[in-house]
Amino acid sequence: MNHGSSISVVTTISLILSFLPLFNLAQDYGAVARKKWLDQARVNKPVLHERLIKPVRLGILKKDTNAFQGWKVETSVAVDSLYQRGFKSQSGVIVDFGEHFTGYVSFSLAAWGRTPDAPLRLKFTFGEVPSELAVPFEPYSGSLSRAWLQDEIVTVSEVPSTLTIPRRLAFRYVKVELLSPSIGYDFKLTDLQIKATTSATENVASLLPNTSPLVKEIDRVGLRTLRECMQTVYEDGPKRDRRLWIGDLYLEALANDLSFKNHNLTKRCLYLLAALSNKEGYLHGTVFERPEPHPQEGQLLFDYALLYNVALRNYYKNTNDRETALDLWPVAKRQLELVKSYLMHSGLIDYDRAAKEIWIFIDWKDGLHKDVAIQGLAIYALKQTYELAKSLGKEHELAEVPEMIRKMSAAAKQHLFDKKTKLFLSGVDKQISYASQIWMILGGVVSKQEGAKIVNTLIAHKEALKPGGPYLYHYLLQAMIDCGMKDEAKETMLNYWGAMVEKGADTFWEVYDPADEYRSPYNFYPINSYCHAWSCTPVYFIRKYPEIFQD
């Protein structure tokens, strides 16, 4: 090929490429890097601490309109009363383990009087909250698999025997029913127990002595939530979905940094996600560990991919582990291509196109319009990634980023801020939401003073679309703190997480809407997770800002 023809080939190629969306240009990291990352994930896999836990008492399930979701479990007699009588007359018994545990349940069956002459069929229903024991699972209307619900039918062919339910469970309460008795004999159920697992250790520094009892309680429940979600990855929820999601990982890592300090777990998760990124180098929103590590193929999540960078920066800040930060730097850098690929000349993200091509999460909230929020979140992530680059001496690789930040911030103020309402408005309906204001504040699009005014206007605005759950409440609290609104931040924590505590939460919930306890993003509230990673962050706030929360 002569020189002239090679130029024309190059020109043709670059012409073709210029019509492709930018993110198709991204290159794979290569098999060597991926293998190294997967190995790093493997060597940092934590050993699970196991504890054998026995139930503390029996309970009585009661309908109560004042209780959370209309049901409560009242304390009844000691567990011995179950173990020392024939089971037939006790079918439907509620056993209370006193706290939330995650692990493997076993039990023993023995003859009680006459010779066992037939198999037994028992049904176990495990509940994180009382309503899961009371609400019929059929007809099932949920949008997630019915199989997540924790009811297990066990057929026992031989009595006496000791059995372990194969599936890992997450619960405080168990209901045990006898489905198929034999008229010929009765039996005893004994030694119900759970081998509880967690990768969190117990040594967490206590709060200052003057901390209010409610804050202490919120912290205790938060720690419990985090502990249960810390398994061999940061799970989102030990009942459901039991896997690593980037958005949950970031918040769990924040709380872990100031409590259990299991930094290797964070490291493992960061490596695992990197190793399982797609061919273009973009991170999947969620990955699975078993049977072999694999991603949720095709599930890219715009905001979560960007939050990975924030999590990596946070990991580096907390550990000084430069080697890992440098190792994973190409991954962080690559995620920024997502922003570039949707950025319009105006400096705004092309939300309509992005929303068609990639999942933008922001919050579980029906009707939420996310164009403003993703703009703010992208600016926030660009800034955080730039800070990470600076700390690694890599800012020259992000030479265009400061100008992107400037342009995107200016565009947000010019096109998305409404001078009349003094709030950021989203979508054609000019929606006023907490999500929009929160991410504009966190993105630093407005000054601290402007941010405080916005939050005050928002609070006074009765129609504003409130956060749908603890995930966005976390960012609301952070936005308030960033604006110097200490009292409001404390009040929000006490009102929101405090209300869960007052409603009997042993662990914090995936979804909690004070105006509707039955809300579920999945159309069936028993499928909600009631021990959910992203709700554990009071642990972080209380320790990070003792002057606000421990005073």
Closer CB to ligand RAM, 105 or 511, in the complex: 511
Cα separation, 551 vs 125, in Å, equals 42
3-state DSSP assignment of residue 517: coil
Question: Minimal distance in Å, beta carbon 69 to ligand RAM?
Answer: 18
- If one asks whether residue 468 binds ligand RAM (CB under 6 A), the answer comes out as no
Question: Minimal distance in Å, beta carbon 453 to ligand RAM?
Answer: 31
- If one asks whether residue 241 binds ligand RAM (CB under 6 A), the answer comes out as yes
Q: 60 pairs with which residues across the strands? A: 74
Q: How many Cα atoms within 13 Å fall on the side-chain side of residue 536?
A: 34
Cα separation, 104 vs 128, in Å, equals 15
Provide the residue type at 503 as one letter: K
Closer CB to ligand RAM, 132 or 236, in the complex: 236
357's CB contacts (< 8 A; 6+ apart) are none
Cα separation, 268 vs 530, in Å, equals 25
First-to-last alpha carbon distance for the chain, in angstroms, is: 76
Tokens coding 64: 């109560």
Question: Minimal distance in Å, beta carbon 273 to ligand RAM?
Answer: 13
Considering only residues 343 through 372, tell me which ones interact with ligand RAM, judged by CB under 6 A.
361
Considering only residues 219 through 238, tell me which ones interact with ligand RAM, judged by CB under 6 A.
236
Closer CB to ligand RAM, 145 or 155, in the complex: 145
Q: Which string of DSSP letters, residue by residue, matches 466-484?
A: --SSHHHHHHHHHHHHHTT
- If one asks whether residue 245 binds ligand RAM (CB under 6 A), the answer comes out as yes
Closer CB to ligand RAM, 233 or 401, in the complex: 233
Closer CB to ligand RAM, 260 or 361, in the complex: 361
Residue with CB nearest ligand RAM? 236
**470-482 and 246-257 are packed helices; what angle lies between their axes, rounded to 10 degrees?**
50
Considering only residues 525 through 544, tell me which ones interact with ligand RAM, judged by CB under 6 A.
534
Cα separation, 221 vs 496, in Å, equals 13
Closer CB to ligand RAM, 351 or 364, in the complex: 364
Cis peptide before 487 (omega within 30 of 0): no
Question: Minimal distance in Å, beta carbon 533 to ligand RAM?
Answer: 6
Closer CB to ligand RAM, 245 or 380, in the complex: 245
Q: Which of 59, 116, 127, 247 is the binder for ligand RAM (CB under 6 A)?
A: 247
Question: Minimal distance in Å, beta carbon 507 to ligand RAM?
Answer: 14
DSSP tag of 242: -
**What separation in angstroms does the CA of 520 have from each of 148, 433, 528?**
14, 20, 6
Closer CB to ligand RAM, 125 or 286, in the complex: 286
- C-beta of residue 97 within 8 angstroms of C-beta of residue 151: no
Question: Minimal distance in Å, beta carbon 528 to ligand RAM?
Answer: 9
3-state DSSP assignment of residue 126: strand
Tokens coding 104: 């493997």
Contact region with ligand RAM (CB under 6 A), list: 163-171, 212-220, 239-247, 311-319: 239-247
Q: Which of 248, 252, 327, 337 is the binder for ligand RAM (CB under 6 A)?
A: 248
Tokens coding 233: 């990855």
Contact region with ligand RAM (CB under 6 A), list: 74-82, 97-105, 240-248, 274-282: 240-248
Contact region with ligand RAM (CB under 6 A), list: 7-15, 55-63, 211-219, 244-252: 244-252
Question: Minimal distance in Å, beta carbon 240 to ligand RAM?
Answer: 8
Phi then psi for 36, rounded to 5 degrees? -60, -40
Q: Which of 219, 266, 510, 549 is the binder for ligand RAM (CB under 6 A)?
A: 510
In the complex, the residues that contact ligand RAM under the rule CB under 6 A are 236, 241, 245, 247-248, 361, 510, 534
